[in-house]
């Protein structure tokens, strides 16, 4: 398991504790978690990361009151740069968004500006926020997956605890190829509460050809692993790059939503922005 689970920064979170819900806007509900906690475990620093990318969140339960007291509902897209000092802890994010429910705001633009400022302050980096009407959110259109699914490989599986060494034998041969792969079998658990997190994981690489069987066994080993979404994706990226030494590598996880939020970390050697890619799971 990871070495940072008992860090004081985590013990101070509301995650895993009984909390009261407020329906009046409060930015104080937001809690940041330093990205450095798990990056120390991966021997990474913000000054020298092996990837670029972002964390894209979608909020499906955002609502507030207009000046006449009429409820407004929206879908929100939040884009956090992977270079931010903090990630935003998801429970605190949900509590914060719920605090908008009975608060009056003058316009959609005002709500967007408030969200942008508060989240940027918490993450200590510029956060992009876009609000959509619930019947018109192009970013959440279900798209055809242009990737080879590796889930039908016949395996005898015994390892359900994260094991980096399962990637021994990852490289099949030194022929340079480019592949788009996907597995819908990624499951990990919340670092604090042990609640299951489910994801479809997309991998694009250019380099020596890899064993799909080895990759799938490795991904299944996350099944009882405890880490936040963003941390799992960074761990997978770093492990694959260590064993594969790829010319190009992109790892993108589309997690299923919980509590009206989904989190979708995107890490790449050369691409900075996640694609608009969604299946019916999200």
Please list the active-site residues.
190, 197
Our CA angle for 218, 222, 226, nearest 5°, is 150
Q: Packing angle between helix 229-244 and helix 212-220, nearest 10 degrees? A: 150
CA distance 113 to 103: 15
The count of residues in the chain is: 282
Under 8 Å CB-to-CB from 258, ≥6 apart: which residues? 90, 195, 197
CA distance 223 to 9: 25
Say if residues 68 and 105 touch (Cβ distance below 8 Å).
Answer: no
CA distance 43 to 133: 42
């Amino acid at each position: 398991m990871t070495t940072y689970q008992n860090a004081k920064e985590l013990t101070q979170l509301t995650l895993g504790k009984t909390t009261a819900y407020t329906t009046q806007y409060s930015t104080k509900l937001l809690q940041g978690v330093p990205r450095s906690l798990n990056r120390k475990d991966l021997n990474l620093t913000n000054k020298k990361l092996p990837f670029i990318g972002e964390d894209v969140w979608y909020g499906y339960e955002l609502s507030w009151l207009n000046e006449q007291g009429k409820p407004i509902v929206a879908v929100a897209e939040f884009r956090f740069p992977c270079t931010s000092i903090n990630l935003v802890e998801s429970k605190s994010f949900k509590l914060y968004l719920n605090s908008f429910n009975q608060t009056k705001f003058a316009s959609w633009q005002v709500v967007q500006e408030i969200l942008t400022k508060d989240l940027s302050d918490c993450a200590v980096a510029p956060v992009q926020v876009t609000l959509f009407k619930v019947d018109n959110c192009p970013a959440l259109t279900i798209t055809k997956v242009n990737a080879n699914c590796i889930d039908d490989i016949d395996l005898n599986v015994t390892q359900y605890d994260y094991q980096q060494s399962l990637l021994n034998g990852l490289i099949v041969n030194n022929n340079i190829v480019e592949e788009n792969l996907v597995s819908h079998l990624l499951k990990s658990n919340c670092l604090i509460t042990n609640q299951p997190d489910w994801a479809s994981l997309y991998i694009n690489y250019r380099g020596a050809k890899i064993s799909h069987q080895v990759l799938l066994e490795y991904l299944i080993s996350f099944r009882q692993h405890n880490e936040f979404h963003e941390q799992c994706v960074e761990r997978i990226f770093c492990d694959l790059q260590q064993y594969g030494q790829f010319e190009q590598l992109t790892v993108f996880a589309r997690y299923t939503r919980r509590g009206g939020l989904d989190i979708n970390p995107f890490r790449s050697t050369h691409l900075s922005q996640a694609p608009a890619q969604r299946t019916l799971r999200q």
